[in-house]
Amino acid sequence: MVFASPIFLFAFLPIFLLVYYISPRFMRSMIILLGSSLFYAWWRLDFLFMLYAIIGGSWLIALLIERYRDNPNAKWFLRVGVSANLLTLGYYKYYNFGVSSFHSMLESFGLEPATGIVEVLLPIGISFFVFHAISYIVDVWRQDTPATKNLFDFAAFITLFPHLIAGPVLRYKDLAWQFTSRTHSYDKFSEGAYRFMCGFAKKVLIADSVAPLADAAFALENPTMADAWLGTIAYTIQLYYDFAGYSEMAVGLALMMGFRFIENFNNPYISRSITEFWRRWHISLSTWLRDYLYIPLGGSRKGKVRTYINLFLTMLLGGLWHGANWTFILWGAWHGIILAIERIVGVDPNAPESILKRYSTMFMTFIFVMIGWVLFRAHSVESAFAFYYAMLGMNGIGLSDALIWQVKGIHLVAMFAGLLLVFIAPHFEKNRIPVELSKGSMAMQTKPGMIIQVAVFALFIVAVTRLIAMSYSPFLYFQF
């Protein structure tokens, strides 16, 4: 089930909220677990049991870590818990990739690949809920949060449907107290509804409207320079409004249930460096990678050369987390190399700059990000480099006839509206108030004016009308 679907909007959500609010407080974790299980099982019932196994195993491991913390062999519980989760993720997400790469190697040596190997189906959202489980186990080991004895609260945290299948990547310590003392109010519910409508409009009116243009450009056999750059810009807008829209819907749904999530996006396309970009894009993942990968690797504590290597490895593995394809590995390497170079030359995202330098560095960063998105979008390394070849004008410069007939006015309007909103949206977000969730984690409280609320509601109605007319509106990040 997806947020941008009639079954969710007109059946699941209203029924769930009704049952949730008429239930006694002590039963609400159970209601969350049951409702979220139905939400996930709507796609595949069998994978629900795999999700339950991850929940039960991680919960038990954390209790054992806390109980036997003083035992010299207690670290083995940590190793077993983290390894079991990583092996589960590795099997489902990278088995097909490993087999395919092995077959390609055999063929390169003139050998026949094995036959009869069954492909493994990737469970939706496995990358996210495995990371949730790992962070919980590690945080209990670090004593950043106590192990909960309430299995229903922990199960409700992992399965909480707003973040279950596409994030944000949350930590139990940020929500633990909210399971016992969260507040429910009209103001909080209305704020959540507003945030949900904002994200829904971004997803349906911008991302879905731009998607056909990006798909058409990347499907061309010999795109021209104009084709390639138009497709790249379209995909850049599509990906941002698709994922940021989903994240905003998740934040809104959580607020409607009394939870407050950390923000996942903070206007990333106005960044003046790749370092700043990763402080603004997919914030929950970048902080997860920092705290559970970059810092354990040594961070910046072991000398300059090791710092550069750690930055590169963190982004390389972050790319691999996004998908089992060499394109994602190269995308991670691209960002890792730039981050290391920025650290070498001493780029400071917070340094004051002249207006000219500010906009020139912003433009350059935007170009670097778009170049990386080509790898993110392409189906193979070969097709990605063929697209780069086209971006350099090697197949001609002007728009090709193969693309012109597929370009519609709504595609261009949505793309330019998305670009414009990238730069003007920050001016409308000055009404946000920081809210501390736990040490090192911040959320934002939004208090929009009446005019903005009316405008967003009108756009939401238009988006719902358009959704009903569409056959399907998937989210890009479900494949990760």
Q: Are strands 441-446 and 432-438 parallel, antiparallel or unpaired?
A: antiparallel
With tokens 């595949």, the residue in question is: 44
How would DSSP label each residue in 320-341? HHH-SSHHHHHHHHHHHHHHHH
The catalytic position among 322, 335, 379, 427 is 322
Cβ(168)–Cβ(250) under 8 Å? yes
- Residue 363, exposed/middle/buried by CB under 10 A (0-12, 13-18, 19+)? exposed
Beta pairing partners, 442: 436
Active site residue 322: yes
CB neighbours of residue 474 within 10 Å: 13
Going by C-alpha positions, the residue among 222, 344, 325, 239 that lies closest to residue 282 is: 239
Per-residue tokens: 431: 């009404």
For residues 183, 184, 189, 190, the Cα torsion angle rounded to the nearest 10 degrees is -90
Measured in Å, how far apart are the chain's first and last C-alpha atoms?
16
- Helices 151-159/126-141 angle, 10° precision: 140
| CA atoms in the 13 A half-sphere facing the CB of 263 | 19
Going by C-alpha positions, the residue among 175, 153, 149, 180 that lies closest to residue 30 is: 153
Where does residue 108 fall: left (phi above 0), alpha (psi -120 to 50 degrees), or beta otherwise? alpha
For residue 223, whether the previous peptide bond is cis, meaning omega lies within 30 degrees of 0, is: no
CA distance 279 to 261: 17
Beta pairing partners, 435: 443
Contacts (Cβ under 8 Å, ≥6 apart) of 291: 135
Q: Phi and psi of 445, rounded to 5°?
A: -100, 130
| CA atoms in the 13 A half-sphere facing the CB of 281 | 23
Residue type, 202: K
Contacts (Cβ under 8 Å, ≥6 apart) of 354: none
Per-residue tokens: 197: 């409508």
Going by C-alpha positions, the residue among 84, 200, 60, 251 that lies closest to residue 140 is: 60
Catalytic site positions: 322
